């Protein structure tokens, strides 16, 4: 893969995700629990946000010559979350596909519009960093894979949960 392909794929995945969110539209529906377990679309978007913040911060570290090392102990994992405000998603101690209810709890009193604003800023930071990094930096830090893991994979995961929820609502209305 090259940088242009990555940026195109990222934008296509992003467009599909935004289209789905725009289709739902009503703020009341976006904050209703039950989309994925006890989570709302707002909670799922907060999860997307924290994944994007995670990879955006790692990319900024690479641009500044800093080195990230995944948390190797539970103490380090807790310290990472306390320092950054989101989980160390690449730590081997993290359950990869589990929705993080701590993230939902952290964002429960934050308005949906503010989460959207922060998420758009995080996404923009990822795009900017991707453009600044060289092809070799992207390869050396496995960013072609890692960016996808923290952007369009969470988009797809959230979208799948939202589609299941929409089908459930539609079948209940019949």
Residue 27 confidence (pLDDT): 53
Nearest to 58 by CA among 129, 148, 144: 129
Instruction: For 139-152, write each residue's pLDDT tens digit.
Output: 999 999 999 999 99
Domain 3-24+41-169 classified CATH 3.30.1050? no
What's the pLDDT score for residue 102?
Answer: 78
- At residue 38, what are phi and psi to the nearest 5 degrees? -95, 15
- Using 50, 70 and 90 to split pLDDT, how confident is the model at 97? low
Summarised one tens digit per residue, pLDDT across range 103-127 is 888 898 999 899 999 999 999 999 9
Instruction: Render pLDDT for 36-94 as a digit per residue (tens, 0 to 9).
Output: 888 889 999 999 999 999 999 999 999 999 989 999 999 999 999 999 999 999 999 98
**b/e map 26-52, b = 16+ CB within 10 Å:** eeeebeeeebbeebbbbbbbbbbbbbb
The predicted pLDDT at position 124 comes to 97
CA angle, 138 then 144 then 148, to 5°: 140
**Residue extents of the structural domains in the chain:** 3-24+41-169
For residue 100, pLDDT over 70 is answered with no
């Amino acid at each position: 893969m090259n940088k242009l392909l990555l940026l195109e794929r990222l934008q296509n995945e992003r467009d599909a995700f935004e289209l789905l969110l725009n289709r739902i539209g009503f703020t009341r529906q976006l904050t209703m629990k039950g989309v994925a377990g006890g989570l709302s679309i707002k909670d799922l978007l907060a999860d997307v946000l924290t994944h994007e913040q995670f990879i955006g911060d790692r990319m900024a570290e690479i641009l500044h010559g800093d080195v990230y090392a995944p948390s190797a102990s539970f103490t380090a994992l807790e310290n990472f979350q306390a320092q950054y405000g989101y989980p160390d998603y690449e730590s081997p101690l993290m359950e990869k596909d589990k929705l993080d209810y701590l993230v939902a709890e952290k964002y429960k009193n934050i308005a949906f519009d503010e989460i959207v604003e922060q998420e758009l800023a995080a996404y923009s930071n990822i795009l900017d960093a991707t453009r600044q990094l060289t092809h070799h930096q992207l390869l050396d830090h496995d960013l072609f894979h890692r960016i996808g893991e923290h952007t369009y994979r969470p988009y797809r995961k959230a979208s799948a949960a939202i589609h299941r929820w929409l089908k459930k609502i539609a079948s209940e209305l019949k």
